[in-house]
Structure 1
Amino acid sequence: MKLYYAETLSPRKTCALAQYLGLPIDYAFVDLRRGEHTRPDYLAINPNGKVPCLVDGEKVIWEADAIMCHLAQRAESPLWPRGAQQQIDVVRWFSWNSQHLLRHAGALYFEYLIKPWAGLGEPDASKVAEAQGFFRKHAAVLDQHLKGRKWLLGDDLSLADFSVGISLPYAKNAAMPLEEFPEVVRWHDQLNAIDAWRDPFPARQERAAANA
């Protein structure tokens, strides 16, 4: 298997899961700054020009949540539940996150982390305020759901946790008001106890040199 990734939000959850499962994967870093995601050879793999993307033999899978399902199935991991109702619950949280929490957390991530990285100027105060308002709205739903539950589906860690939590490692640097939601903080602290969650990306020469 070959996983194309960048050190950004969506690839982070696929890399974290792959590291957690200990799967034998060839990691291929896609340098977004150099536009490698727009090159013809990459577009031949993923015509969307996005990361992550997984190549497993003849199978090519786009979209981070779908990649996570495939990896869990390959590993025969209970992170992708066996029961149909629990599978529906995982998909429900995938959808909820993409349409609600991640949508607005991602806007803050863009304003505070991507714009400086890409040289696009300072955060837009009006967009920040709007995104923080929606973040609070949806984080409140998550906070209420987590009361009395260890993980999103109950007692057991699942792909839903890997998906929904993915913006939270950036909460402080992206001005997400995470601290207002104690159940979400408690839940994310549990994720942070997982080595692969804290340090999901494989080593690269550039990173190794920077840390030397």
Structure 2
Amino acid sequence: MKLFYCETLNPRKACAAARFLNADVEFVRIDLGRGEQKAAEFLALNPNGKVPVLQDGEKTLWEANAIMCRLSDIVGADFWPHDERQIDVMRWLSWDANHFTRYGAELWFEKEIKPLFGQAPDRKVVEDAENNLRLYARVLNDHLAERRYVVAESVSVADFALAAALPYAASSQLPLDEFGHIMQWHDRLNELEAWREPFPVSDR
């Protein structure tokens, strides 16, 4: 299997999952700066022109959350559960994409990516994202008050999805310091080497 990635938020989840699950994947870095994601060869794998992409023989799969679930199934892990927990995991994946990481990713893009291209952050976008991130962080923080992980007692795809922007919390100035349960939960994830160091070191 090949996992096409770059060092951005969504590929980070897929790479971390591959390492956490000890999946037998070959990491293939796509250089976004050189436009490799727009090449015909890559578009044949993902017509969206985005990473990550999982190639398994003749089959290809894109979207990071789906890739995490697929990798879990391939190795026979419980990371993507197949019991009553599955619906709850799906709920948090949907909520995250529309609320929590949506606004965390906006701040990451405004404060870290745009300056790389000589662009200033849009203050209105930043203010709106900060307000919404605080709003939804309170929901997640309250949920984690008496839990070690988002669903049940073990780490799952829901944790990796919801935590996608947190490794960039300091550099992106995410307004999360007041949410102690979120910080403690992410500290637990950081105990996992796969989460701390998801990308192949040689490609950095």
Greater alpha carbon shift after TM alignment, 119-128 vs 103-112: 119-128
Total equivalences in the alignment: 204
Q: Deviations over 1:43-64 (max 9, x none)?
A: 0110010100000112110100
- Find runs of 4+ consecutive structure 1 residues off by over 3 angstroms: none
SS at match of 1:106: helix
Q: Deviations over 1:114-168 (max 9, x none)?
A: 1122x14121222111110000001000001111111001211111101111110
Aligned twin of 1:149: 147
1:40-79 alignment, distance < 5 Å? 40-79=40-79
Aligned twin of 1:95: 94
1:1-12 alignment, distance < 5 Å? 1-12=1-12
Distance 1:145 1:36 in 2: 40
Indicate the RMSD between aligned Cα atoms, in angstroms.
1.0
Aligned twin of 1:20: 20
User: Taking structure 1 as the reference length, what is the TM-score of the superposition?
Assistant: 0.94
Q: Deviations over 1:68-117 (max 9, x none)?
A: 0000001111111120x211111111111110011111110001111122
Aligned twin of 1:137: 135
SS at match of 2:78: coil
SS at match of 1:147: helix
User: Taking structure 2 as the reference length, what is the TM-score of the superposition?
Assistant: 0.97
Percentage identity across paired residues of the two chains: 46
Distance 1:71 1:182 in 2: 31
Q: Deviations over 1:176-212 (max 9, x none)?
A: 011110110110010011111011001235x3xxxxx
Distance 1:68 1:138 in 2: 24
Which one of 169, 193, 196 corresponds to residue 195 of structure 1? 193
Distance 1:106 1:79 in 2: 24
Post-superposition offset of 1:36: 0.6
Distance 1:156 1:22 in 2: 17
Structure 2: any 5+ residue segments left out of the alignment? Answer: none
Structure 1: any 5+ residue segments left out of the alignment? Answer: 208-212
Instruction: State whether residues 85 and 152 of structure 2, in contact with CA within 8 Å, keep that contact through their aligned partners in structure 1.
Output: no
